[in-house]
Amino acid sequence: MVSVSVEDAQKRFEELIDIAQNEPVEILQDGIPVAYVLPASCKRDLETVRKNRELYFIA
């Protein structure tokens, strides 16, 4: 996983998006993680897990 500061993320946003297509990017403010930019495939995977979890708890 790549980590960048908030300032670098703002300055190099296009590059950050290019990287995030293949791996998560951690955004740091004062060395503390404040956000993550994930590949779209990760979001789809998370949505699938969430739906499956909801089905499990409903049943």
Task: Give the CATH number, domain containing residue 37.
Answer: 3.40.1620.10
pTM of this structure = 0.75
| CA pair distance 49, 9, nearest whole angstrom | 29
Q: Please tell me the predicted confidence (pLDDT) of residue 59.
A: 55
* Number of separate domains in the chain: 1
| CA pair distance 42, 32, nearest whole angstrom | 22
Binned average pLDDT, 10 residues per bin, the chain of 59 residues: 96 96 96 95 86 73
Phi and psi torsions of 25, nearest 5°:
-120, 125
Torsion of CA 39, 42, 43, 44, to 10 degrees: 120
Residue with tokens 């990017």: 25
Q: Please tell me the predicted confidence (pLDDT) of residue 40.
A: 87
Q: Please tell me the predicted confidence (pLDDT) of residue 9.
A: 97
Q: Please tell me the predicted confidence (pLDDT) of residue 46.
A: 86
